[in-house]
Structure 1
Amino acid sequence: MTIAPLETAKPAVRSGRPRVGVLLVNLGTPDTADAPGVRVYLKEFLSDARVIEDQGLVWKLVLNGIILRRRPRTKALDYRKIWNNETNESPLKTITRSQADKLTAALSDRDHVVVDWAMRYGNPSIRSGIDALIAKGCDRILAVPLYPQYSAPTSATVCDEVFRVLSRLRNQPTLRVTPPYYEDDCYIEALAISIETHLATLSFKPELIVASFHGMPKSYVDKGDPYQGQCVATTEALRRRLGMDETKLLLTFQSRFGDDEWLQPYTDKTMERLAKEGVRRIAVVTPGFAADCLETLEEIAQENAEIFKHNGGEQFSAIPCLNDSDPGMDVIRTLVLRELQGWI
């Protein structure tokens, strides 16, 4: 077995006491809204054994021979529908940067705290984020996976990459990771405020609200992933806060991929069913996403809206994610300050 040589850290820029780094991490995005950019992103994403657990020969043949030849073209079209043309980047990147900037401002009275941001897949990478924090004199780092509900394909793979980066360092910073916050009071309250604020702007009153979470193969949950249970807990807490029952706030799962059975009920099938059953006005919230992205802005706000209306629905509204809103930033700031206790 060959052991990679340890890296020598770059000289840190220090002024006084050591600094504490905070690294916000979201899932990722292509660098460009074209087939080559999407291909690079999908290859990194789908080559992660946390995302696709069976990385055997058959999968590699399917990935490289079929998926990476066909899917980048179609997904690039979807990305172009939501692309931030002003900054030439995806909304996920724009929002995550803003979250880091606003957190920096919120912690401005603590001059030894440094905030940066990264993507698990794509750029800026986790490695570049950690390198930047170390270069600024941080000897302690708090990693903040921006996923309210824990799952191996999201939260765990962030930790995997952070640990992988640290494993190359001779002089490692001390590390902490924020836990999932799926039923944290500040998170549920922020969701409720966001929903109520958005509904007040609508010209119609939704007959019900659908809470759509990102899907996952059922087999992952059967093997012990706690994700489904945490999605249920979030939905139940939100129902209590809003005074709704399961007929007024529904739980569904979106974004399934491949032929395996995924967590149900499926969001798209639910949209079709509700419209055919006579529901005419609906709103959708996506509590599993800390920032709007392809899955919320295109899949929900466009694709699922079309499914609903095609089958008889009339009015559809996608409720924005918490993003960098005041309630959303309250959640991030609360989580960070809680986990930094004893460091600051």
Structure 2
Amino acid sequence: MDKSSVVAILVNLGTPEQPTSSAVRAFLNRFLSDPRVVPISPWLWQPLLKGVILPLRSPKVARLYQQIWMDGGSPLQVYSEKLAEKVSSCIQGRCRVRLAMNYSHPSLETVIHEEIEQGVETLIVLPLYPQYSVSTSASVFDACARALQSEYTLPNVQFIRQYYDWPGYCELLAEQIQKRHIQYSASYPLIFSYHGIPERYVQAGDPYARQCEQTTRRIVDLLALPDDAWKMSYQSRFGREPWVQPYTDELLTSLAADGVKAVDIISPAFSVDCLETLEEISCQLKLLFFRQGGVEFNYIPALNAQDQHAQILSEIILEHIR
């Protein structure tokens, strides 16, 4: 394979351009209009989305972004850019590395069109979602398909649907946890909190929850944690329908009611830190736990742009080049 004609595209979800109500509204409109994310008839969903949800939710979400905004943009944007730069360094010229977003700039469709114009022969698409879900990885696949529909010359496309089971990934998460130097127990548990999905997705065949369980079990085994020293839950539910349980907020409330005063929490579903980790976990869930009687709450950061994280992603890409 001619290395000069190979491009690897790292794809993340996306982010508002600014922490303002109008920018958040534009981003949420793109995100929540994706039928992979909200599989409801647009005739029913769009009036509700544009008439009720966006006007009410956008100002609130904008205020949350303002609390975590960084000099270079949102944390997801900043960390994703740094991670892509490091992956490119690890690749050492054996292919080019691009970053794209599914619901913001630079869009995946734009990046694919640009590369086809430059004569790319092979695209390696790596969604930055360790576990596969129809609402994340499948949506990236859809965006690839849309981009290619209008092209006359199609490149080879290698789509990497998950990497939670790639050698070294769970080991790196285990090392991240070990840096805390905590002896976890029933009175000081480690919580694995994953982004949730509706229960009906699982019933329809989405393997996400099973892959989250496998991720947790692998890390627990690596750390040799006793069964009472860890818990697993799901966060970020939206709407009234049942989502995969247990819910992280309810778990924290239950632990506090049982007299637990200290917890560590990690979210292995996120490749880089974002609103759901830096605001929802580190602020909202921390405050909830404290209000219920907890006294110590520590969020263990995502892998972000760590050298070892970039090395693992580069190994995945190079394996597909080979």
Render the CA deviation track for 1:258-300: whole Å, top value 9, x for unaligned.
Answer: 0000000000111111112111111100000000000000000
CA positional deviation for 1:335: 1.4
Count of residues in Structure 1 that have an aligned counterpart in Structure 2: 319
Aligned pairs for 1:90-239 within 5 A: 90-110=74-94, 113-197=95-179, 199-200=180-181, 207-239=188-220
Q: 3-state DSSP class of the match of 1:141? A: strand
Match for 1:191: what amino acid?
L
The residue number in structure 2 matching 1:334 is: 315
Match for 1:27: what amino acid?
L
Render the CA deviation track for 1:204-225: whole Å, top value 9, x for unaligned.
Answer: 9981110000000001111111
2:41 to 33, 41, 55: 55
Counterpart check, 1:256 vs 2:237 = yes
Q: 3-state DSSP class of the match of 2:231? A: strand
Q: 3-state DSSP class of the match of 1:129? A: helix
Alpha-carbon distance between aligned partners in 2 of 1:18 and 1:118, rounded to the nearest angstrom: 19
The residue number in structure 2 matching 1:299 is: 280
Counterpart check, 1:77 vs 2:63 = yes
Alpha-carbon distance between aligned partners in 1 of 2:31 and 2:64, rounded to the nearest angstrom: 17
Contact 1:149 1:227 in 2 (8 A): yes
Show structure 2 runs of 5+ residues with no match.
Answer: none
The residue number in structure 2 matching 1:285 is: 266
Shift of the 241–65 alpha-carbon distance from structure 1 to 2, 3 Å rule, reads same
Shift of the 191–114 alpha-carbon distance from structure 1 to 2, 3 Å rule, reads same
Alpha-carbon distance between aligned partners in 1 of 2:172 and 2:121, rounded to the nearest angstrom: 32
Percentage identity across paired residues of the two chains? 36
Render the CA deviation track for 1:190-240: whole Å, top value 9, x for unaligned.
Answer: 10011112x04x8x9981110000000001111111111111111111110
Render the CA deviation track for 1:132-178: whole Å, top value 9, x for unaligned.
Answer: 33344421110001111100000000010011101111112111011
Counterpart check, 1:43 vs 2:25 = no
Contact 2:10 2:127 in 1 (8 A): yes
Show structure 1 runs of 5+ residues with no match.
Answer: 1-15
Match for 1:92: what amino acid?
L
Render the CA deviation track for 1:32-52: whole Å, top value 9, x for unaligned.
Answer: 111100100111111111000
**RMSD across aligned positions (CA):** 1.7
Counterpart check, 1:65 vs 2:46 = no
Alpha-carbon distance between aligned partners in 2 of 1:243 and 1:92, rounded to the nearest angstrom: 31
CA positional deviation for 1:109: 4.5
Render the CA deviation track for 1:72-101: whole Å, top value 9, x for unaligned.
Answer: 0000000111111x22x1110111111111
Match for 2:59: what amino acid?
R
CA positional deviation for 1:253: 0.2
Counterpart check, 1:274 vs 2:255 = yes
Render the CA deviation track for 1:230-261: whole Å, top value 9, x for unaligned.
Answer: 11111111110110133212110000000000
CA positional deviation for 1:104: 1.1
TM-score by length of structure 1 reads 0.89
Alpha-carbon distance between aligned partners in 1 of 2:285 and 2:142, rounded to the nearest angstrom: 33
